[in-house]
Amino acid sequence: MQCADLVPFLTFVSEKPVLEHFNFCPSCGSNLISLDSEIRVHCDDCSFTLYSNPTCSAGALIFDDAGRLLVVERANDPSKGKYGIPGGFTDLGERLEEVVIREAKEEVNLALDSVTFFASFPNTYRHRNVAYAVTDTYFLAKVASFDAISPQESEVAGIQFVDPKTVPQEQWAFDSLRQAIALLLSEQ
């Protein structure tokens, strides 16, 4: 199915949850659908139910020897110009640990030596007029060397090491990252 085939089923309105974009049943095309909060769309004609479960992402919290956090300046929206960390969404069949390793290599050209789960938080990722539910996971990660570090220019406008205690809250790209940083600082 191509994107143009989906147009009759979707209405693009400013940043609504995914299921609120449906006007017709994606199975039979009926307009007799009901939305149960943000959890599911149900068709009264064919009994098809589409659930809106969150997608997952994984990010790497990488510190240098001086205790500074590696941050990337986001090159694209959402949150263009704000601080993120190397990370991204899971692909089908991929473990979260694999995501964080892959994304650190892709975004900043670093090979992670170890990854340890730290925390997870719900988040909303707003992209192209759709508000996606996401569970963001954070991993503490270590590298042997930062010698090969370089930004993936299509996604990363810059790389810095920062003291997370001094970064203004509004500079963090996502609410879940603010929560992860706050938890991290509370444990230090």
Chain segment 109-137, per-residue pLDDT in tens: 999 999 999 999 999 888 777 778 899 99
pLDDT score for 129:
76
118 and 96 inside one domain: yes
| Confidence tier at 15 by pLDDT (50, 70, 90) | low
Q: Closest Cα to residue 107, out of 184, 16, 173?
A: 173
136-174 pLDDT, tens digit each:
999 999 999 999 999 999 999 999 999 999 999 999 999
- Residues 81 and 148 occupy one common structural domain: yes
Same domain, 113 and 158: yes
Distance of CA 98 to the CA centre of its chain: 15
Predicted confidence (pLDDT) per residue in 65-105, tens digit: 999 999 999 999 899 999 999 999 999 999 999 999 999 99
More confident residue, 5 or 117: 117
Q: Please, are residues 108 and 151 in contact by the beta-carbon 8 Å criterion?
A: yes
Q: Which residue has the tokens 């650190």?
A: 104
* 29-42: average pLDDT: 83
pLDDT digits over 48-72, tens only? 998 888 899 999 999 999 999 999 9
Which of 16, 36, 51 terminates a domain? The answer is 51
Q: Are residues 148 and 174 in the same domain?
A: yes
Domain count, the chain: 2
pTM metric for this prediction: 0.81
User: C-alpha angle with apex 103: 101 to 104, nearest 5 degrees?
Assistant: 65
State whether 38 and 69 are in the same domain: no
**Quick one: pLDDT band at residue 18, thresholds 50, 70, 90?**
low
Average pLDDT, the chain: 88
Q: Both 107 and 146 in a single domain?
A: yes
CB 59 within 8 A of CB 87: yes
- For residue 10, the model assigns a pLDDT of 39
Residues 60 and 148 in one domain: yes
Given phi > 0 = left and psi -120 to 50 = alpha, else beta, which region is 151? beta
In this prediction, residue 63 carries a pLDDT of: 97
Q: Are residues 60 and 46 in the same domain?
A: no
Same domain, 131 and 146: yes
Residues 138 and 45 in one domain: no
What's the CATH number where 153 sits? 3.90.79.10
Query: Where does the pLDDT of residue 8 fall: very low under 50, low under 70, confident under 90, or very high at 90 and above?
Result: very low
Given a cut of 80, whether residue 31 has pLDDT beyond it is yes
Pair 157, 178 in one domain = yes
pLDDT at 11 over 50: no
pLDDT of residue 155: 93
Q: Map the chain to HEC letters.
A: CCHHHHHHHECCCCCEEHHHHECCCCCCCCCCEEEECCCEEEECCCCCEEECCCEEEEEEEEECCCCCEEEEEECCCCCCCCEECCEEECCCCCCHHHHHHHHHHHHHCCCEEEEEEEEEEEEEEEECCEEEEEEEEEEEEEECCCCCCCCCCCCEEEEEEECHHHCCHHHECCHHHHHHHHHHHHCC
Q: Is 67 found in the same domain as 145?
A: yes
Q: 43 lies in which domain range? A: 3-51
